[in-house]
Amino acid sequence: MMTRKKWNPLRVIRTALVLTVLAAFVGAVVAVFIEREWRNISEQYIQDATQRAATQFQRMASEVDASLGMVCEWGRSGLLDPSQSEKAKKLLFPFFGKNLMLSGISIADTDGKNFFLQPDGSIRFPSTEKEYNLEERPWFTPALENEGTQWTDIYSFYTLEKLGITASAAWTEKGGTRAVVAFDILLDDFFNGVRQMAPTPASHAFIFLPDGQLYVPGTESAKSEFRSTELIKDKLAMQGLSLWDVDRVREEGELKVVQMRFEGEAWWCGFVPLEKSRKQVWMGVIVPEADIVGDIVTRRQELFGIGFVVFIGFSALYIFLTRRYGRSLPVEADITEGEVREFIRKGENRSVEFKSTMRMNLHTKKPGKEIELAWTKGVAGFLNTDGGTLLLGVTDDGVITGLEQDVFENEDKCRLHFKNLIAKHIGAEFSKYIRFILLKMDGKTVGVVRCARASEPVFLKDVNKEHFYIRNGPSSDELPVSKALEYIKHRKR
């Protein structure tokens, strides 16, 4: 039937479509936030991992600087003499136990006195060897010429023949001789420390130079060295290095986190300079995305929860507004001749009513107010109940007589008269719940009045009186004031 019902398939479909679009929109927004959070969490995870390594190096550098300063004070005060190696050993040997990653300590002065203290307590005198030239050592001259701690570039140690860096500082002895203390740190030792700080067992940490060469720790058959990527078997590190070079991290001068895929899996890679001032040596950390997924899943669940609450809230608001205001366009406002004939065949009922004319009294052959009130009463009843359809130009017996009996000049005059009667007896504000359609049938014009259930109670106005009607079977019954108030109170919105 064409009346508005409590359950209407088209309304259900429309509501389902709206809610589907809403769900898709909320889902898309949540997906965007999840992707953003996924990246933020992954980036933060990598940044924390790389920063820990850089912080460890910087902490070690700070401790080395403080230790060198202490040794210089001993030298200036006369406690430390490069010519007295055994006495100096007692002062210097405890530094090996301070977790400074020291592989050796050198003491040398401008008079040529020199010794090298090793972690096992043994002492060597490199200056006695022909190949050794103190002034060519990268830690000696820079310390003499500059104040404070000086760090060398990476170079091969003379004694150990392995790659490392040296921190050195100089002081002036009481006799005016300049002396230097140098702390050697093997890159292997630092590399092992970096690898131990990898955030997860599957993580990968590596050290490389700005030119893209990767550090390979020493083995029994090969020395520790930096190698070009084409000579390295570590494909994962090679791919990480390629991303570092493409993103031009060294030019931008800041830590970068990038995502990549390796052997079908997602990985996150971060880079940080071990020494901020010169950025000579860089460290990379690569972590499989699966190892970060725990924090991401937690955050994703939170976002889905928020999205679900938002969806439920908007859905509830939409349903409320639809129920309250959505009837301004009654469902199935259009109607076909076949549907009207089906109405006529079934006869009048709670949601269908017939009236012969809109204004003409067929007995007096004159327009009558009572005729207008008769059908507007039916409209008010439909609006106050569950909506319905009123056919004008159809007798109670279902005979199509047409609105031609109302003698309107044209259809526009007919529509205007209908609009004026609705405004006068029901109220123009309720027009949003009503549709008036003129339909040609059997050469005659039938007026189809389609009514949706109004959100507000509707009173029929007759001069200075107001009446409240509801549908009761095939008729519209007026309720007395007391019952009308009770009906309105319990009327479902």
For 115-142, the DSSP string reads EEE-TTS-EE-GGGSTT--GGGSTTHHH
pLDDT in tens, 300-346: 666 566 767 766 866 666 665 555 544 444 444 578 899 999 999 99
Q: Is the confidence at residue 272, as pLDDT, over 50?
A: yes
pLDDT band for 39, please (50, 70, 90 cuts): low
Q: According to the model, what pLDDT value does residue 1 have?
A: 32
Q: Which residue has the higher pLDDT, 99 or 365?
A: 365
The answer to whether the CB of 398 falls within 8 A of the CB of 410 is no
> Among 283-287, 353-357, 395-399, 470-474, where is mean pLDDT lowest?
283-287
Distance CA 333, CA 184 (A): 90
Q: Is the confidence at residue 80, as pLDDT, over 60?
A: yes
DSSP symbols for 54-93: HHHHHHHHHHHHHHHHHHHHHHHHTS--TT-HHHHHHHHG
> Among 126-130, 184-188, 343-347, 437-441, where is mean pLDDT lowest?
126-130
Q: Which long-range contacts (CB under 8 A, 24 or more apart) does 49-52 make?
A: 49/197, 49/198, 49/199, 49/203, 49/270, 49/285, 49/287, 50/255, 50/270, 50/271, 50/272, 50/283, 50/284, 50/285, 51/255, 51/272, 52/197
Cβ neighbourhood burial of 249 (10 Å; 0-12, 13-18, 19+): buried
Percent of all residues in the chain with a pLDDT value above 90, rounded to a whole number: 36
Q: Is the confidence at residue 2, as pLDDT, over 50?
A: no
Q: Is the confidence at residue 249, as pLDDT, over 50?
A: yes
pLDDT in tens, 84-104: 889 888 999 998 887 667 889
Cβ within 8 Å of residue 358, ≥6 positions away: 371, 372, 375, 392, 393, 403, 406, 414, 417, 418, 421, 447
Distance CA 450, CA 339 (A): 13
Q: According to the model, what pLDDT value does residue 351 have?
A: 92
Percent of all residues in the chain with a pLDDT value above 70, rounded to a whole number: 76
Q: Output the six-digit token pair for 143.
A: 């310390």
What's the whole-number average pLDDT of the chain? 81
Distance CA 161, CA 223 (A): 8
User: How close are the terminal C-alpha atoms of the chain, in Å?
Assistant: 22
pLDDT in tens, 176-232: 889 999 999 887 877 776 666 666 777 777 778 777 777 766 554 456 677 776 666
Distance CA 170, CA 163 (A): 23
Distance CA 341, CA 278 (A): 92
Q: Is the confidence at residue 374, as pLDDT, over 90?
A: yes
Q: According to the model, what pLDDT value does residue 197 have?
A: 62
Q: According to the model, what pLDDT value does residue 391 have?
A: 96
pLDDT in tens, 19-31: 787 777 767 776 6
Strand partners, 391: 354, 448
Q: Which residue has the higher pLDDT, 119 or 280?
A: 119
